């Protein structure tokens, strides 16, 4: 990916690398993340560029906003939350379903609800 903005003066911390990767994966700018957190862009940029101590609240908010586990941000695991798994695929399919006419949505939901009910009975 092409670098945007000024080049860093220092090598990023491992936390900063993970934070940068998660933000880019989420398709958000530093400004967007900073605004959602109620901090300045400069403050957020510092988190990506330098070793810094963050309040636990910020780590939890970043985890949720960037759709990565807290353990990933802290370096305890490598993956992101169920990336590309059934939940993501189901969400994408239902987003498409929501664009269909209402009567078609109701038919699809009826089928899905029947399948879920049948699965519950089998358990």
18 and 69 in a common domain: yes
6 inside domain:
no
Question: With 60 as the cut, is the pLDDT of residue 3 above it?
Answer: no
Specify the DSSP class assigned to residue 99.
Answer: T
Rounded mean pLDDT of 42-69?
A: 90
DSSP letters of 28-53? Answer: --HHHHHHHHTS-HHHHHHHHHS---
Rounded mean pLDDT of 35-51?
A: 92
Residue 65 sits in a domain whose CATH number is: 1.10.260.40
69 inside domain:
yes
Task: For Cα atoms 81, 85, 86, give the angle at the middle one, nearest 5 degrees.
Answer: 125
Question: With 90 as the cut, is the pLDDT of residue 62 above it?
Answer: yes
94 and 65 in a common domain: no
8 inside domain:
no
90 and 68 in a common domain: no
Question: Mean pLDDT for the chain?
Answer: 83
Rounded mean pLDDT of 88-105?
A: 81
Nearest to 25 by CA among 77, 74, 70, 81: 81
Question: With 60 as the cut, is the pLDDT of residue 81 above it?
Answer: no
94 and 60 in a common domain: no
Dihedral sign of CA atoms 65, 71, 77, 82 in order: negative
95 and 69 in a common domain: no
Query: pLDDT band at 42, cuts 50/70/90?
Result: very high
69 contacts 80 by C-beta, under 8 angstroms = yes
The pLDDT tens digits for 10-29 are 678 889 999 999 999 888 99
Q: Which domain holds residue 60?
A: 14-73
């Amino acid at each position: 990916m092409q670098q945007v903005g000024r080049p860093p003066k220092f090598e990023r911390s491992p936390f900063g690398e993970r934070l940068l990767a998660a933000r880019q994966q989420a398709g958000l700018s530093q400004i967007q993340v900073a605004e959602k957190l109620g901090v300045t862009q400069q403050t957020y940029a510092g988190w990506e560029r330098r070793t810094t101590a963050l309040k636990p609240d910020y780590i939890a908010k970043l985890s949720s906003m960037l759709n990565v586990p807290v353990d990933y941000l802290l370096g305890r695991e490598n993956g992101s939350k169920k990336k590309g798994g059934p939940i993501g695929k189901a969400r994408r399919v239902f987003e498409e379903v929501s664009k269909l006419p209402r009567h078609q949505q109701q038919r699809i939901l009826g089928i899905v609800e029947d399948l879920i009910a049948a699965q519950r009975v089998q358990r």
